[in-house]
Copies of this chain bind each other. A is one copy, B any other.
Amino acid sequence: MAQRAASKRPLVTAPPAFPKPGHNHARCAADALAKAEAVCTARGTRLTDIRRQVLATVWQSHVPVGAYEILAQLNSGGGTPRSHKSRALTARGGRHAPMAVYRALEFLMGNGLVHRLASLNAYIGCAHRGEDPHAAQFLICRRCGITAELKSAALNRALNQAVTERGFTIDSQLVEIGGICPHCRPKP
């Protein structure tokens, strides 16, 4: 595959490519968990059991997961989810109630380790873990579900300009793009 030389190469602007289908995901997950430990230690916050479990669940793949799906996995022993019905009856036999998950997610989001996807009501591990809570943009493949976190300076610039031009002061942003990822797109 000969590449066009210097001329037309886009600058090194597309760094964290879309996660490939066959990549070593165990490593993604392990890295994320390790990084999270470090972040929490550094910040003096505590990555407790539940929080770690929730984080691990979120990192099972690059597909966002719902809070109740996380709950089901927690309550089924961490392996594969048993059923969606283990909802209210967390009492004796079961384990956790929804609150446990939501609280863990809140903590993880507050520490920049997880993001929420408003368009899906689902959660995903932060690809820039280790940084403070930050604005993020997401590319969501509607075929495979895999979601990549985007960090485009150009996009942020455009966004800031478009907005401040109108006298608006940004607090928070939510950018979620749906479509087809490079690996699901039919090859030419």
Residues of A within 8 A of B (CB): 10, 13-14, 17-18, 118-119, 137, 139, 141-142, 148, 150, 152, 154-155, 157-159, 161-163, 165-182, 185
A185 CB to nearest chain B CB (Å): 6
CB nearest to A180 among chain B residues:
B169
Q: What residues of chain B lie closer than 8 Å to A162, measured between beta carbons?
A: 13, 137, 150, 152, 154-155
* Bound form: Cα–Cα A172–B163 in Å: 21
Q: Which of A10, A13, A165, A168 has the most CB of B within 10 A?
A: A168
Determine whether the beta carbon of B182 is less than 8 Å from that of A163: no
Q: What residues of chain B lie closer than 8 Å to A148, measured between beta carbons?
A: 166
Q: Other than A10-B165, A17-B167, give 16 A-B pairs with Cβ distance below 8 A.
A: A10-B161, A13-B165, A14-B166, A18-B166, A119-B174, A139-B166, A141-B168, A155-B159, A157-B158, A167-B181, A167-B185, A168-B177, A168-B182, A172-B178, A174-B174, A174-B176
Question: Contacts A152-B162, A155-B158 given: A178-B171 contact, CB under 8 Å?
Answer: yes
Q: What residues of chain B lie closer than 8 Å to A180, measured between beta carbons?
A: 168-169, 171
* Bound form: Cα–Cα A30–B41 in Å: 58
Q: Which of A148, A167, A180 has the most CB of B within 10 A?
A: A167
A41 CB to nearest chain B CB (Å): 31
* Bound form: Cα–Cα A142–B152 in Å: 25
